[in-house]
């Protein structure tokens, strides 16, 4: 399944050809939810081994338009993993301190420790998305960032960090419904930000920026995957399957100790 | 139940009078586990409100001898809370960078953001526990730390941080069994640290340091609770009940928005 969503390195990444409502990977919603439950429990067990091993880490990058379900993915896929070996970093508007550094500085600060899973809720990719669309930095600087990101991620992977990057792909129509829901449901008012409507008006510009990002930064060491996200259950099931498979392939081991357990006596 | 475990501010905290195997707060193990499941789910819901409100935070401090179940508490009580609004900070041997600052610096760095629950797995209290027992700092400096900690915690509480402090109280006998298990079970070897046996030989010195800590730092704004921890299920059920009750008392609210939802149109 993992390969269905891949943006092949060096290839075009036409979002128009990818259906945000695609659920063809799953027999049914029930089957997908059952699989998610199994995957989530297995991710928890695998994370325990990763933590025990203490040598490598997993970085999960979540990007997507407003309401695409980044928070929901963290809850849906990682709630069972528990907070012990998982850290979530939300990349909001940069602070003055962060702005005083290069754009990768805060991403590097938040890189997951050995033995843990780090989740980026938005990420350093904002610097080629919102920053590009709203022209918050000179175009010539932004153009250089794709290669800078690729080099940064390559360094991470060469130092024990496996990177999974998911673009949560929702349709403009589904976004309308979710924004409207935030306006209609008083419990969701706090999630609504009037600025989201301004970004919605720039939908096409954002899609173009996403395509550039996908084409320039889907690499062999850290490929992008475009996840159909109009159906929350399909989104969660797809991501949980890929995370589980990735951890299984990493196959973390309980460390062998250098001492002889029989040589110790607990008195 | 919360009050059964309290160390009353200004009172002696004789650990010898507190039974680590006490389960009298619970009708049965089954009942305790059922209550834990309910509490964990409710903590998840309350945390969602805390996150939405975004004004206050909860700091949970876990201290206890080796094998007392600090990691197990995080898993048992907070696994369902999910990582979105929870951060866990493990306080290990300080780095050179940390040693170059005052002892409260790293605790302050790790203080939970507004809207989140922060869990300290060990904490700034190590600086009056292991540091005291192993004489890693001058006694006159350590003596001043109790008041410094109290002032630090008072400042935090006055700035929106509710503090819960749990000492996980296990018996020397139970610790022997848990250490032996780590030696006997190859899957647990990685948890065993030969240095733990040295600390076990200093059991009485550690107990004395814990008593001093409890007596000096159980305050009205941030009281200590001593949790019987020989039975994992009783430990988890006690802590989950207190965390839930505390969040209920905080009663976080979905924020009222300043704009009129009807004034927006999603196009």
Instruction: Tell me what ipTM this predicted complex has.
Output: 0.80
B contact test, residue of A70, A183, A256 with most B CBs within 10 A: A183
In a domain, A46, yes or no: yes
Please classify residue A234 by burial: count the beta carbons closer than 10 Å to its beta carbon, then call 0-12 exposed, 13-18 middle and 19+ buried: buried
Beta carbons of B200 and A81 less than 8 Å apart: no
Q: Which residue has the tokens 């033995």?
A: A115
What residues form DSSP beta bridges with A86? Answer: A117
DSSP class of B118: E
List residues of chain A with CB under 8 Å from any CB of chain B.
Answer: 44, 52, 54, 71, 74-75, 78-84, 86-88, 119, 176, 179-180, 183-184, 186-187, 189-192, 194, 197, 200-201, 254-257, 259, 261-262, 264, 266-267
The confidence band for B248, taking pLDDT boundaries of 50, 70 and 90, is very high
Distance from CA of A236 to the nearest CA of B (A): 15
Looking at residue A130, its pLDDT comes to 96
Nearest to A83 among B88, B254, B261 (CB): B88
Which residues of chain B have a CB within 8 Å of the CB of A110? none
- What integer pLDDT is reported at residue B216 of this predicted model? 97
Contact B114, B55 (CB under 8 A): yes
The per-residue b/e assignment along B180-216, b for 16 or more CB within 10 angstroms, e otherwise, is eebbeeeebbbbbeeebbebbeeeeebbebbbbbbbb
- For residue B220, what are its two tokens? 């009205």
Parallel/antiparallel/unpaired status of strands B57-64 and B161-169: parallel
Average pLDDT (B88-108) is 94
Shortest CB distance from A83 goes to which of B83, B186, B190? B83
Give me the DSSP letters along chain A: -GGGGB--TTS---GGGS-TT--TT-S-HHHHHHHHHHHHHHHHHHHHHHHHH-S-EEEEEEEESTTSSHHHHHHHHHGGG-STTEEEEE--SPPHHHHTS-TTHHHHHTPPPTT-EEEEES-GGGGGTHHHHTT-S-HHHHHHHHHHHHHHHHHHHHTTEEEEEEEEE--HHHHHHHHHHHHH-GGGGGG--HHHHHHHHTHHHHHHHHHHHHHHH--SSS-EEEEE-SSHHHHHHHHHHHHHHHHHHH---PPPPSS-GGG----
**Domain-embedded: residue A261:** no
* Nearest residue in A to B254, CA atom: A187
Q: What are the 10-residue block averages of pLDDT along chain A, 267 residues in total?
A: 83 93 96 97 94 96 97 92 89 93 96 96 98 96 97 96 98 96 90 90 97 97 98 98 98 89 86
The 3-state DSSP class for residue B92 equals coil
> Could you tell me if residue A257 is inside a domain?
no
Label residue B116 by pLDDT band (50, 70, 90): very high
Strand (E) or helix (H) holding B170: none
Q: Which of A244-258, B9-23, B73-87, B119-133 has the lowest mean pLDDT?
A: B73-87
Rounded to two decimals, the pTM is 0.89
pLDDT at B187: 86
Residue ranges making up the domain that contains A109: 6-251
Query: Are A192 and B257 inside 8 Å of each other by CB?
Result: yes
Work out whether strand A161-169 and strand B224-228 pair parallel, antiparallel, or are unpaired. Answer: unpaired
Does A262 fall in a domain? no
| Mutation for testing the B interface, residue in A70, A120, A182, A190 having most B CBs under 10 Å | A190
Higher pLDDT, B164 or B187: B164
Nearest-CA distance from B186 to chain A in Å? Answer: 8
What's residue A1's pLDDT? 56
CB contact under 8 A, A264 and B197: yes
Which chain A residues contact residue B190 at CB under 8 A? 52, 54, 254-255, 257
Inter-chain contact A83–B80, Cβ cutoff 8 Å?
A: no
pLDDT of res. A230 = 98
- CATH code of residue A208: 3.40.50.300
B260 belongs to a structural domain: no
Q: How far is B249 from chain A (nearest CA, A)?
A: 20
Q: Edge-to-edge, what's the strand order for the sheet holding B224-228?
A: B86-90, B117-121, B57-64, B161-169, B224-228
Q: Which of A54, A197, A264 sits opposite B264 (nearest CB)?
A: A197
| Tally of structural domains, chain A | 1
Q: Let me know: does A155 contact A140? Beta carbons within 8 Å.
A: no
Selected residue of B48, B55, B83, B118 to mutate for chain A interface (largest A Cβ count, 10 A): B83
pLDDT exceeds cutoff 90 at B260: no
Residue B54 lies in a domain: yes
Residue pLDDT, tens place only, B33-87: 999 999 999 999 999 999 999 999 999 999 999 999 999 999 999 988 878 889 9
Whether pLDDT at B128 is above 80: yes
Residues of B in contact with A187 (CB under 8 A): 254
Cα end-to-end span (Å), chain B = 53
Contacts of B256 in chain A (CB under 8 A): 189
A52 closest CB neighbour out of B52, B75, B190? B190
Q: How far apart are CA A179 and CA A175, in angstroms?
A: 6
Neighbours of A83 (CB within 10 A): 24
Give the whole-angstrom CA distance, residue A117 versus residue A100. Answer: 28
Please give the residue that has the higher pLDDT: either B262 or B205.
Answer: B205
Q: How far apart are CA B166 and CA B18, in angstroms?
A: 14
Question: B259-262 long-range CB contacts below 8 Å, 24 or more apart?
Answer: B259/A194, B261/A183, B261/A184, B261/A186, B261/A189, B261/A192, B262/A183
What pLDDT shows up at residue A2?
54
Express each pLDDT in B181-230 by its tens digit: 999 998 888 889 888 899 999 999 999 999 999 999 999 999 999 999 99
Residue A161 lies in a domain: yes
Q: What is the token pair recorded at A87?
A: 């850290």
In a domain, B259, yes or no: no
């Amino acid at each position: 399944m993992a390969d269905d969503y891949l943006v092949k390195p060096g290839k075009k990444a036409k979002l128009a050809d990818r259906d945000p409502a695609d659920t063809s990977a799953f027999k049914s919603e029930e089957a997908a939810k059952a699989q998610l439950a199994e995957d989530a429990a297995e991710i928890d067990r695998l994370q325990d081994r990763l933590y025990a091993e203490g040598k490598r880490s997993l970085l999960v990058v979540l990007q997507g338009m407003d309401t695409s379900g980044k928070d929901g993915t963290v809850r849906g896929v990682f709630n069972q993993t528990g907070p012990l070996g998982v850290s979530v970093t939300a990349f909001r508007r940069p602070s003055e301190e962060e702005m005083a550094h290069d754009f990768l500085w805060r991403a590097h600060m938040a890189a997951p420790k050995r033995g843990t899973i780090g989740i980026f809720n938005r990420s350093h990719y904002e610097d080629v998305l919102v920053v590009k669309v709203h022209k918050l930095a000179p175009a010539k600087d932004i153009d250089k960032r794709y290669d800078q990101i690729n080099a940064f991620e390559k360094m991470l992977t060469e130092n024990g960090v496996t990177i999974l990057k998911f673009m949560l792909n929702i349709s403009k129509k589904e976004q309308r419904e979710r924004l409207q829901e935030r306006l209609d449901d008083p419990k969701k008012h706090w999630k609504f930000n009037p600025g989201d409507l301004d970004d919605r008006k720039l939908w096409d510009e954002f899609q173009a920026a996403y395509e550039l990002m996908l084409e320039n930064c889907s690499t062999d060491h850290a490929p992008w995957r475009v996840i159909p996200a109009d159906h929350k259950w399909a989104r969660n099931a797809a991501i949980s399957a890929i995370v589980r498979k990735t951890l299984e392939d990493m196959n973390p081991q309980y460390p062998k100790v250098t001492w002889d357990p029989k040589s110790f006596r607990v008195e």
